[in-house]
């Protein structure tokens, strides 16, 4: 009887009916960019800021795609800056019509009140890192939360679909 179980397992593996592989992640390449430390940093460009004009941004987040199916998503993040440290935080938007909570004295989004799902922490200029996370359907932001960077326009919308 045990022999039959081994044969059935081997047959299922051979036919691809049984797999121990994890589902493949959707890969998103992300560039954290800026125009150099010599450029004056813009302000008032945080997500949902009144009169938002991202054309004035001197730094930003550029993703290779703006959406992914629900499940495992792998963000391959590169800081393309020549002189500034950046990071990337994935934040779930509970209410996409509302701005993220912001702490003016820190000049940063309040990660303790935002629904942060993970991050690639401080990347030195030219360095890369990866974040792999399981995401459910919804609206997200990819942000740099170094002081003043989020308000300078360093964010990109990202959607996870069903």
Quickly count: other Cβ atoms within 10 Å of residue 110's Cβ.
13
pLDDT of residue 1: 47
Torsion sign across C-alpha atoms 15, 17, 22, 23: positive
Q: Where are the alpha helices (DSSP H) in the chain?
A: 2-14
pTM of the model: 0.85
pLDDT of residue 3: 53
Q: How far is CA 119 from CA 30, 145, 159, in A?
A: 12, 10, 17
pLDDT of residue 10: 53
Which parts of the chain register pLDDT below 50?
A: 1-2, 9, 12
pLDDT of residue 38: 85
pLDDT of residue 39: 86
What is the spatial distance between Cα 144 and Cα 88, in angstroms, rounded to a whole number?
5
pLDDT of residue 12: 47
């Amino acid at each position: 009887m045990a022999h039959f179980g081994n044969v059935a397992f081997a047959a299922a593996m051979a036919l691809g009916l049984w797999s121990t592989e994890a589902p493949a992640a959707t890969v998103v390449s992300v560039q954290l960019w800026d125009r150099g430390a010599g450029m004056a940093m813009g302000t008032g460009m945080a997500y949902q800021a009144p009169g938002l004009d991202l054309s004035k941004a001197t730094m930003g987040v550029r993703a290779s795609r703006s959406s992914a199916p629900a499940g495992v998503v792998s963000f391959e993040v590169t800081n393309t800056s020549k002189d500034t440290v950046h990071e990337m935080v994935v934040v779930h938007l509970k209410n996409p019509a509302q701005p993220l909570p912001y702490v003016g004295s820190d000049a940063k989004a309040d990660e303790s009140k935002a629904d942060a799902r993970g991050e690639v922490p401080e990347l030195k200029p030219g360095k890369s890192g990866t974040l792999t996370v399981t995401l459910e359907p919804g609206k997200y932001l990819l942000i740099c939360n170094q002081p003043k960077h989020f308000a300078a326009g360093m964010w990109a919308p990202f959607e996870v679909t069903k």
